[in-house]
Amino acid sequence: MKIRIKSTKLDLTEALKNYIQEKMDMLEKYLGGVAVINCDFEVERVANSHNKGDVFRAEVNLQVPGSLLRVEKSEEAMYKAIDKVKSHMELIIKKYKEKRK
């Protein structure tokens, strides 16, 4: 799956790109025969106005025929936010496929 990755207020390292690509590739088995028109992934460090340190936000927009599947999660750890987005997107894809039947 071809993914456009955007980062805001944080460096997009090769390791981070590979981690995001790996997690999103795991979603392909849930998609099955569903064609992905567009996939955008954004990871961001939220403004430093929090008392306990940084908060990271991960968001994925997956455009499929007839619908846009979108998930956004915030966590204190960047990789945890990415994992949560991936897990929640699995559920969204399953619901989308059920509706199509």
CATH code at position 11 = 3.30.160.100
Domain residue limits at 14: 4-100
**Dihedral (C-alpha) 8, 83, 61, 46: value to the nearest 10 degrees?**
-30
**8-state DSSP, 9:** S
pLDDT band at 48 (very low <50, low <70, confident <90, very high): low
Judged by DSSP in three states, 56 sits in strand
Amino acid at 76: E
Report the pLDDT value the prediction gives residue 100, as an integer from 0 to 100: 85
pTM of model > 0.85: yes
Instruction: State the total domains in the chain.
Output: 1
Report the pLDDT value the prediction gives residue 101, as an integer from 0 to 100: 78
* Structure tokens given for 83: 């994992």
Per-residue pLDDT tens digits for 76-95: 999 999 999 999 999 999 99
Report the pLDDT value the prediction gives residue 49, as an integer from 0 to 100: 59
